[in-house]
Copies of this chain bind each other. A is one copy, B any other.
Amino acid sequence: MTIDAAAVAAGFDAEIKEAVAKGAHVKLVGLLANDDKEARMYANWTKKACERVGIAYELRECARLDLEEVVIELNADPTVHGILIYYPVFGGQMDDYIQNIVSIKKDVEGMNYRYRYALYHNERFIEPGKRCIVPCTPLACVKVIEHAGVYDRALPVGRQLHGKIVTVINRSEIVGRPLAAMLANDGALVYSVDVTGIMVFQAGKVPGTIKVTESTVERDDALRQSHVVVSGVPSAHFRVPTECLMPGVVCINFAPQSNFDKDGVDAIGTLCPAIGKVTIAMLQRNLLRLYDNFSSTDANGGAE
């Protein structure tokens, strides 16, 4: 079976269109400060997706050395509700610096340190009444997992993945690590795999906390136990071995290339081969949340 990202995104698109129709005149600015072709494609794609639901989108291009100044200007511009930077710009640690320049009031990607801290400490509100922003790609993975029926709605919130095992292959700060934490926050036992080894993310003893431990489990043994496998290895050569997957498995690929053997997974479980459309819907949802939190007329009335 295949999960089509468009089908998952459709419900969110309807919500977003409705919010815009009700008066949320929101604007997203994309900042392109590199000459990466994929970044430009993503920018064009974001633009189309925003226009389709009634969100204003402006692409600004600038030299990388002007980027910080442009971000500071946009932080202060009340007509702009979200800032999206297409990385990498400088590469390495300087890009982390830039991520923190983006105001928490405009950070649609949730990459400011304050949102990241909140995520790892399962703090749901950045200020009283203002819900946190969670990064778009891991949030999209969660929505696909929900769509696939893996969450048990009979259990209380925060426990709905109890008993479920998930392997996430990728532990970047952008996707893999926040995703592992979010799934553990929802009750799953998560094997977080990268080239340096495997960590286990799970609920801590104190409700609302998570516990992360080093693990000596072999990757393929982790896969054999997993109800869900999420992979984001940016390589044409990497494949999750189908023979290690359990019947009924839900597989999600967020790498630009396919990390799964489509026919193999189709035969035994469900594959979501690409999540980009859900990611964009989450970006728009984050934008609306920022608007509700910080710009709408009832921003101080506990919107959302």
Decide yes or no whether A125 CB sits under 8 A from chain B. Answer: no
For chain A, which range describes its interface: under 10, 10 to 19, 20 to 34, or 35 or more residues?
20 to 34
Interface-centre pick from A94, A97, A117 (highest chain B CB count, 10 A): A97
The interface residues of chain B lying within 8 Å CB-to-CB of A216 are none
> Are A117 and B100 in contact, CB atoms less than 8 angstroms apart?
yes
Tell me the bound Cα distance from A297 to B176 in angstroms. 45
> Are B65 and A199 in contact, CB atoms less than 8 angstroms apart?
yes
Contact of A116 among B63, B97, B177, B213 (CB under 8 A): B97
Tell me the bound Cα distance from A214 to B90 in angstroms. 12
Closest to A213 in B: B65
> Are B63 and A214 in contact, CB atoms less than 8 angstroms apart?
yes
Beyond A65-B199, A214-B65, is A113–B100 a contact (Cβ under 8 Å)? yes
Tell me the bound Cα distance from A117 to B94 in angstroms. 12
B-facing mask of A194-213, CB < 8 A → 1, else 0? 00100100000000000011
Decide yes or no whether A152 CB sits under 8 A from chain B. Answer: no
Tell me the interface secondary structure of chain A in the complex: helix
Contact of A94 among B91, B97, B173 (CB under 8 A): B173
> Are B94 and A177 in contact, CB atoms less than 8 angstroms apart?
yes
Interface-centre pick from A96, A100, A177 (highest chain B CB count, 10 A): A96
In residues 89-104 of chain A, which contact B (Cβ within 8 Å)?
Answer: 91-94, 96-97, 100-101
The interface residues of chain B lying within 8 Å CB-to-CB of A213 are 65
Quote the shortest CB–CB distance from A168 to chain B (angstroms). 15
Tell me the bound Cα distance from A197 to B97 in angstroms. 19
Interface-centre pick from A100, A177, A214 (highest chain B CB count, 10 A): A100
Decide yes or no whether A2 CB sits under 8 A from chain B. Answer: no
Quote the shortest CB–CB distance from A259 to chain B (angstroms). 20
Tell me the bound Cα distance from A100 to B112 in angstroms. 11
- Report 21 cross-chain contacts, Cβ distance below 8 Å, ordered by A residue: A63-B214, A65-B199, A65-B212, A65-B213, A68-B120, A92-B173, A93-B93, A93-B96, A93-B172, A93-B173, A93-B174, A94-B173, A96-B96, A96-B173, A97-B116, A97-B173, A100-B100, A100-B113, A100-B117, A101-B117, A113-B113
A-B contact sample (9 more), CB < 8 A, given A65-B214, A68-B120, A93-B93: A63-B214, A65-B213, A92-B173, A93-B96, A94-B173, A94-B177, A97-B116, A97-B173, A100-B113
Residue numbers of A with Cβ under 8 A of B are: 63, 65, 68, 91-94, 96-97, 100-101, 113, 116-117, 120, 172-174, 177, 196, 199, 212-214
